[in-house]
Amino acid sequence: MSQHSSAGWFPDPFGRHEHRYWDGYQWTEHVGSAGTQAVDAPTPAMPLPTATHANQPTGQAGTSTPVDKGVQRQVRKLGVADAARAGGGTLFTEPLLVVNQKAKLFERKAEYSVFNQHGRKVGGVRQFGSSMSRMAVGRDNATKRFQIVDEAGRPILTLTRPATVLKSTVSVMREDGTHVGQIVQENFGVLASVLGGRFNVRFRMEADGETLGTINAESWQAWDFSIQDPHGSEIARITKTWAGFSKEMFTKADNYVLQMHRSLEDPLLTLVVSAALAVDTVLKQDGDNRRGR
């Protein structure tokens, strides 16, 4: 949360309560859940990854990290594997991430696993909390909160999309409560099929009031996205991959691949990774109506 943000109640970035009070400068101990207020110091629920841990690759050859052969097949079929670019085994050091949603016949809270191009798990995404706004605006457009974790399950980021009717805004916050930036929808996409894509869904990534890049859906269905810098050059791409017959036909599970064309620096790097991990749940609206690809 920026120090210039107004005081007020916001989703708890530490994931322990529904809301926590921001006094305009820092998170306070005042929290609330289910209409009841309480006191809980704003300390991380779990220790943050240390620099030593972050610098130790976990997805390299010779380790005991399990390999998902299905992920390897996804990457080969898409033709995006890049053996020349060795990753560091974390969400923010891999040039390619495979985001696979856990298949559930009846989904209440989305859950994802994230792998590198070799099929080794480097992180995950889990939805948490609930919102009274679900009753007012519907399940798909209610407030949604997601926790991004590393390969060991330690929280790294919290993504929050407040209840929305037409446009989405996603807030990206680190586990220590510092605000990274936000991803803001710029248009509706409702007339794209008639007007040749002019109104395809588009988002801008911004931090401290500066636009760092855009996320551009390549069709009105918002399946694949081109991520561009402020000059319009593509720096990364999000591509939907085939999740398998049973997943595609009988569940809402989707699989995506994030391919970064070059090394990025923060906060842009964190916003690009966040966009890929949240594309199916907080960037795409009315997802159930877009499954007839």
Q: Which of 212, 158, 157, 146 is nearest to 184 (CA)?
A: 212
83 and 36 housed in the same domain: no
Q: Which of 18, 72, 20, 71 is nearest to 42 (CA)?
A: 20
Q: What is the pLDDT of residue 41?
A: 82
Residues 6+ apart with CB under 8 A from 146: 110, 125, 126, 127, 128, 158, 159, 160, 277, 278, 281, 282
Range with lowest mean pLDDT among 52-56, 72-76, 122-126: 52-56
Instruction: Identify the residue with better confidence: 252 or 137.
Output: 252
74 and 32 housed in the same domain: no
Q: Using the predicted structure, report yes or no on whether residue 215 has a pLDDT greater than 50.
A: yes
Quick one: how far is CA 98 from the chain centroid? Answer: 12
Residue 58 forms part of a structural domain: no
71 and 193 housed in the same domain: yes
Q: Using the predicted structure, report yes or no on whether residue 145 has a pLDDT greater than 80.
A: yes
The torsion defined by the Cα of 215, 219, 223 and 227, in degrees rounded to 10, comes to -20
130 and 274 housed in the same domain: yes
Other beta carbons within 10 angstroms of residue 14's beta carbon come to: 23
pTM above 0.75, yes or no: no
Q: Which residues span the domain enclosing 189?
A: 66-290
100 and 185 housed in the same domain: yes
256 and 200 housed in the same domain: yes
- Residue 159 and residue 282 in contact, taking contact as beta carbons nearer than 8 Å: yes
108 and 34 housed in the same domain: no
CA distance 22 to 36: 17
Range with lowest mean pLDDT among 8-22, 213-227, 263-277: 8-22
247 and 103 housed in the same domain: yes
29 and 73 housed in the same domain: no
Residue 37 forms part of a structural domain: yes
pLDDT tens, residue by residue, 249-264: 433 557 889 999 999 9
Residue 60 forms part of a structural domain: no
Residue 229 forms part of a structural domain: yes
Q: What is the pLDDT of residue 51?
A: 37
Q: Using the predicted structure, report yes or no on whether residue 57 has a pLDDT greater than 60.
A: no
Q: Into how many domains does the chain fold?
A: 2
Q: Using the predicted structure, report yes or no on whether residue 71 has a pLDDT greater than 50.
A: yes
Range with lowest mean pLDDT among 38-42, 92-96, 149-153, 242-246: 242-246
Q: What is the pLDDT of residue 208?
A: 94
* Average pLDDT along the chain: 75
Residue 55 forms part of a structural domain: no
Residue 254 forms part of a structural domain: yes
Instruction: Identify the residue with better confidence: 58 or 142.
Output: 142
Average pLDDT over residues 206-228: 87
3 and 72 housed in the same domain: no
77 and 17 housed in the same domain: no
Residue 233 forms part of a structural domain: yes
31 and 72 housed in the same domain: no
Residue 71 forms part of a structural domain: yes
- Residue 144 and residue 133 in contact, taking contact as beta carbons nearer than 8 Å: no
Q: H helices then E strands: how many in the chain?
A: 5, 16
CA distance 216 to 12: 30
Point out which residues pair with 215 in neighbouring strands: 203, 227
Q: Provide the CATH number for the domain around residue 134.
A: 2.40.160.200
